[in-house]
Amino acid sequence: MSKRKARARAAKLPRRFYTREDTLLVARELLGKRLVIPAPDGTRVSGRIVETEAYLGAEDKAAHSYGHRRTARTETMYAVGGTVYVFFVYGMHHQFNVVAGAAGTPHAVLIRALEPEEGIEWMRRRRPDRPDRELTSGPGKLCRALGIDRSYDRADLLGERVWLEDAGEEIIPVDITAGPRIGIAYAEEFAAKPWRFWLKGNAYVSRKA
C-alpha cells in the first residue's frame, strides 16, 4: 500500500496535542501534519504543513495578545488549544492560526505554507492563473486556496469543518530550519526571535531565509 493511501485514513490530532505548554514545540510538531477543509461539494481539500510561526501571547510583542490585550479580535486567542484563529490584514488577506495552550493562555501558531495534497482542482479554481507552486506558498495564499475566511474564526479543530491530521510522517529536527518571523519589524527585541519553522528545502515554503 502506498504511503499516500495510508494518509487518507489518518486520525485527527487530539486536544492534548494543542494544549501543551510549549507552543514552540507545537509549532515545530505541526510541520508534516495535514490541514483538511472539505469543499462545498464535500471534496477533501488538504495540504501538508511546511511552514509555521509561533506567537507566544502576553509576553510576545509581535502577538496580537501582547500585554494580555483583549478585544473582539483577540478574544479567540484566549480559547482552548485546538481552536482556529482567523484574522484579516492589509485589507485583503486572511491568516489561519491554531490556538495553542490552555484556555486563557493566548498563544497561537500561524500556518504560513502548505504543500497541496488533495483537492488541488479546488485550489486552482480559487487561485486562477497561478502555477501550482504558488497555490499555498504563503499565509494569505493558502487561505484563498482553501476558502478560509473569518467565518472559520473560533472553529474547533476537533469538529467537522476544519481539522488537522497526523499523516504518519516523522519529522526529525535536522529536517527543520528556524529563523525570524516575517512582517513583524515593529516587535522590537522580539522581531529577531527564531520562532518561524519550515521544512528544509521544501518548494512550498514562502521564503528561503
3-state secondary structure of 77: helix
Q: Name the residue nearer to DNA (CB basis): 6 or 103.
A: 103
Q: Name the residue nearer to DNA (CB basis): 168 or 183.
A: 183
Q: Name the residue nearer to DNA (CB basis): 77 or 167.
A: 77
Contact 23, 54 (CB under 8 A): yes
3-state secondary structure of 117: strand
Q: How far is CA 169 from CA 49, 135, 166, 173, 177, in A?
A: 11, 22, 7, 13, 17
Q: How far is CA 84 from CA 29, 103, 164, 185, in A?
A: 17, 13, 11, 25
Q: Name the residue nearer to DNA (CB basis): 8 or 178.
A: 178
Closest approach of Cβ 113 to DNA, in Å? 8
Closest CA to 40 of 129, 112, 116, 126: 126
Contact 189, 59 (CB under 8 A): no
Residue 186, all three cell numbers: 515593529
Footprint of DNA on this chain (CB under 7 A)?
A: 53, 55, 62-65, 69, 71-74, 77, 85, 87-93, 95, 97, 108, 110, 127, 130, 134, 138-142, 181-184, 186, 206
Distance between CA 95 and CA 149 in Å, rounded? 8
Closest approach of Cβ 6 to DNA, in Å? 30
Q: Name the residue nearer to DNA (CB basis): 46 or 95.
A: 95
